Amino acid sequence: MPTDLPVRNTIRMSWQRSQDSLVDADQPAPSYFAGIDYDTTLTRAARPVIDALSSELTNEPVCIILTDAKGVVLDRRGGDRTLIRRLDSVDLAPGFRYAESEVGTNGIGTALEVGGPILVLGEEHYTGVLRGFACAGAPIAHPVTGGLLGVLDITTQAKNSNAVLLSFAKLAARRIQERIVEEANALDQALLSDYYAVCRHTGGSVIALGDEVFMINSHAQQHFDSTDQAALIDRTRDARGGTKPVTFIADLPSGTIARLAYNPTFLGDTLAGGVIQIKEQRSGTRTTSEGRVPALPGLAGTSALWRHTIHEVLDASGRAEWLVAEGEAGVGKLSLLRSVRDYTSPNGRLAVLDAAEPVPTEDFLSHAGAELESGADLIIARAHLLNGEAIEGLTMLLQSARDGSIGRDPWVALTMLTGQTGGSEQLGTQLLHFFPRTVEVPPLRHHLEDIPALVRQLLGRAGITGVTMSPAATNQLMRLPWAGNVTHLRRVLTEVARRRRSGVIELADLPAECRATTRRHLTRMEALERDAVVGALAAHHGDKTAAAAALGMSRATIYRKIRDYGIVT
């Protein structure tokens, strides 16, 4: 343990956090992470800076270390052989995480905790084996967004410590931030160049998107109303960060079906963003009948996009036109098909077979044949999971149904995951030609205005009565991306209802995952950290100082976590 000699308050507070985190005072145990991305905005900007600095410190017993925002070492340069051996002995090497919560007070983890540069001298380290070192850490923030990217740390043996170490670290961190701006400007210029070229060449609707850039040309603004523009902008999230060209279809609230062709822009090997060309596949000619979509049992939602989707399936079902309902997992493809078929053919029999069920292919085909023979309509759920033998057998059955040799003229539909229709050559060449129409069932994030109605329906369907959702809680649910769509929302509501069986569900009753609005995918470690912050804030009634103390972090750190995770307090 550190001594009781007079120390700086910053160090003493760090010791307390280390102790609260149960850090081993004798031997650090940093976690190791494999598969780290070494080609990021931070590493690209830092590489030449570290190259230059290490050349200046040639033959000096000094090591330059770069970490990410979690304290994971990304790069380590310089240092004599003795220093490198000693650093290896304490796992201060690429891939290891030198967070304060794992190894105690140190120049990397403590700089992250306090949110500023710090020099930690030998005896100021919390763990015994680190007291032979002196380290100066300077945080690196994104110069545009302000988000924390990592730490530039300079480490030497304690006997060689010098106050100039911190000056070197701060200078290098500042130079890295300047290079981030330079790269951002170059990337933005490359994206802008492609955007203007496409606008001039096509004369049509174009969108450009990068990390910090979003542009929509005047043609798109004039051609699409504000509701359709919002839907287009939301749809582009699915393309952001893509490194390969991709084309996808968007059903717009006006009834227009738009084709979006995304092409990435690179500066060298670095992705600058992408340009999206928008073309109408079918003009928005919403009919009066589409505007009066009937209320269907089992479905909830009145948004223009959802009504348009229902109308598409109603139209196909009314014509006995076979179709594919395509969409992400959990969007309600099967529920939509069931509900529409029950409405258009209330006296008919509907059979549903799930390709994911672990039954022999022979039994699956026998069951499908028997249902068609009996005159039932048929839905094959998760048809993208059909194997080659099942596809071949089902193709023969459907051909017989088309020829009228088995049963009456049935209605048949498939559900499939978006992007999976071309995953099997047999699926595309043998089976799908029976289905002239594909209807895309939109993800929940594309019609968030339907969430209040969905909440009421899902609670009622689960038999949860006497519970209502407060406006604040409802508004928060409508801000979330819902990666698991309606299935995800149902799970959340079920979890909430287990804890509150009557009265009003308030914002504080929502689970931790619903109290944060970040749209990026969180690692398991980040999700646990987010939940811990939300839990501490709830336990201390929103008192950030008390919550930070309970978590063993500084007030500056908890404010940063709240901002980074988009936690609503």
Q: Is residue 354 part of a domain?
A: yes
Quick one: 519 and 387 in the same domain? no
Q: Please give, one letter per residue, the 3-state secondary structure of 494-562.
A: HHHHHHCCCEEECHHHCCHHHCECCCCCCCHHHHHHHHHHHHHHHHCCCCHHHHHHHHCCCHHHHHHHH
Residues with Cβ within 8 Å of 303's Cβ and at least 6 positions away in sequence, in order, are 253, 447, 449, 450
Strands, sheet with 270-282, edge to edge from the N-terminal-most edge strand: 214-216, 205-209, 270-282, 257-267, 246-251
Q: Is residue 216 part of a domain?
A: yes
Backbone angles phi, psi at 224, to 5 degrees: -115, 140
Classify burial at 392, counting beta carbons within 10 Å of its beta carbon; exposed 0-12, middle 13-18, buried 19 or more: middle
Q: Is residue 188 part of a domain?
A: no
Structure pTM? 0.51
Tell me the C-alpha distance between 167 and 173, whole Å.
Answer: 10
Backbone angles phi, psi at 189, to 5 degrees: -65, -40
pLDDT at 233: 81
Q: Is residue 189 part of a domain?
A: no
Quick one: 505 and 519 in the same domain? yes
Tell me the C-alpha distance between 397 and 373, whole Å.
Answer: 10
* Segments of the chain with pLDDT less than 50: 284-291, 422-423
User: What CATH code is carried by the domain that includes residue 87?
Assistant: 3.30.450.40
Quick one: 322 and 240 in the same domain? no
Cα Dmax for the chain: 94
pLDDT at 286: 41
Quick one: 427 and 480 in the same domain? no
Q: Which domain holds residue 91?
A: 9-182
Which residue in this structure is represented by tokens 């051609």? 223
Q: Is residue 92 part of a domain?
A: yes
Quick one: 260 and 353 in the same domain? no
Q: Is residue 192 part of a domain?
A: no
Residues with Cβ within 8 Å of 130's Cβ and at least 6 positions away in sequence, in order, are 28, 90, 103, 104, 106
Quick one: 44 and 124 in the same domain? yes
9 CB neighbour count, 10 Å cutoff = 7
537 CB neighbour count, 10 Å cutoff = 26
pLDDT at 16: 92
Could you say which DSSP state residue 224 is in?
A: S
Residues with Cβ within 8 Å of 239's Cβ and at least 6 positions away in sequence, in order, are 209, 246, 248, 260, 262, 274, 276
Q: Is residue 275 part of a domain?
A: yes
Dig out the tokens for 304 from the structure. 């223009």
Tell me the C-alpha distance between 25 and 450, whole Å.
Answer: 54
Quick one: 321 and 340 in the same domain? yes
Tell me the C-alpha distance between 470 and 478, whole Å.
Answer: 12
Quick one: 345 and 452 in the same domain? no
The string of pLDDT tens digits covering residues 56-106 is: 777 778 999 999 999 999 999 988 889 999 999 999 999 999 999 999 999
Q: Is residue 46 part of a domain?
A: yes
Residues with Cβ within 8 Å of 15's Cβ and at least 6 positions away in sequence, in order, are 2, 7, 104, 105, 126
Classify burial at 469, counting beta carbons within 10 Å of its beta carbon; exposed 0-12, middle 13-18, buried 19 or more: buried
Quick one: 438 and 456 in the same domain? no
User: What CATH code is carried by the domain that includes residue 353?
Assistant: 3.40.50.300
Quick one: 251 and 313 in the same domain? no
Q: How many domains does the chain have?
A: 4
Could you say which DSSP state residue 240 is in?
A: T
Tell me the C-alpha distance between 257 and 301, whole Å.
Answer: 20
User: What CATH code is carried by the domain that includes residue 217?
Assistant: 3.30.450.20
- Tell me the helix, strand and coil percentages in the chain, rounded to 5: 45, 20, 35
pLDDT at 4: 55
Backbone angles phi, psi at 281, to 5 degrees: -85, -35
Nearest 5 degrees, angle CA 107-CA 112-CA 118? 40
Quick one: 33 and 139 in the same domain? yes
Quick one: 221 and 270 in the same domain? yes
User: What CATH code is carried by the domain that includes residue 545?
Assistant: 1.10.8.60
